[in-house]
Amino acid sequence: MKKISLLIGFVIIIFSISLITNEPKNSTPLAPPTKTIAKFAFHLPIIPIYLQNDPRWKNELIGGSQQTLGAVGCTVCCVSMALAHYGIDLPPPQLNELLKANNGYTSQGWLKWQTISQLTHSQINFTISAQPKTAVIDAALQLGQPVIAKILLYGIFPHWVLIVGKNGPDYLIKDPLGDGKSLTKFSHQNRIYAIRVVENSNSLHKP
C-alpha cells in the first residue's frame, strides 16, 4: 500500500505542473525537421540552474492557485534563469513574491508573461511564436537569446525548460526538474509544444 500511495502522490505532483501553463491543449508541437539540421555547437554564457524542488523555496506558494513552487514552479524557475542571463538577479522566491505583489498570476496560477515586461520596465520581453519551429529557436540562440519551451514529461504532463544552446541536432536545456549541475540534451526528435523567446529590448546579449 505504501508503494501505491507514493506512486499516486508522484502522479499528483507531476500533474499539477500543468496548472502553470495557459497553452491550449491542441497546440501544435514542433515536429522533427525534414531538412538538413544546422550543425553548430555552443551554449549561452554561464546561467544558474534553478530547481523548482530546491529545499530553500519548494514549499513557497505561488499566486492564484496557491500551489507550491516545488509542484508547479517550472515556469518561474525558467524565467529566473533567463533574467540572470541578462544580468537581472531574481531567484525564484524573489521573482515569485514580485509576481504575487503585482498581479502576475491568473486565478489558475498561470504566469502572466506581460508582468515580467512591466517589472523590468519593458527591458525584458517575450516573443510568442505561432508555431514552435526549430528555425525560430536556432535564430534566437544565435542572437544570444534563451528560449523557454514547453515539453511533455513522459509524453503526458506539461513542463517548461530553458533552451540555452545546441550541439549538432540536440538542444541543450536547463531543466527545473534536472540534477541542478549539468545541461541536459534534448533531441530534435522530441516534441516542443510552445516557445517563448526571451529578448532584451535594450541591447542584444551576444554569446
Q: What is the full per-residue pLDDT of the chain (207 aa) written as tens digits?
A: 544 444 444 444 444 444 444 444 445 555 444 343 445 666 787 789 999 999 999 999 999 999 999 999 999 999 999 999 999 999 999 999 999 999 999 999 999 999 999 999 999 999 998 788 999 999 999 999 999 999 999 889 999 999 999 998 899 999 999 999 889 998 766 789 999 999 998 754 444
Sign of the C-alpha dihedral, residues 96, 90, 11, 25?
Answer: positive
CB atoms within 10 A of CB 44: 20
pTM (two decimals): 0.81
Residue 154 DSSP SS3:
coil
Measured distance CA(207)–CA(190) in Å, rounded: 25
Measured distance CA(38)–CA(166) in Å, rounded: 10
Angle between helices 92-101 and 74-85 (to 10 degrees): 110
Domain residue limits, the chain? 48-200
Which 8-state DSSP code applies to residue 118? Answer: H
User: Out of 3.40.50.300, 3.90.1010.10, 3.40.50.720, 3.90.70.10, which CATH number does the structure's domain 48-200 have?
Assistant: 3.90.70.10
Return the amino acid letter for 68.
T
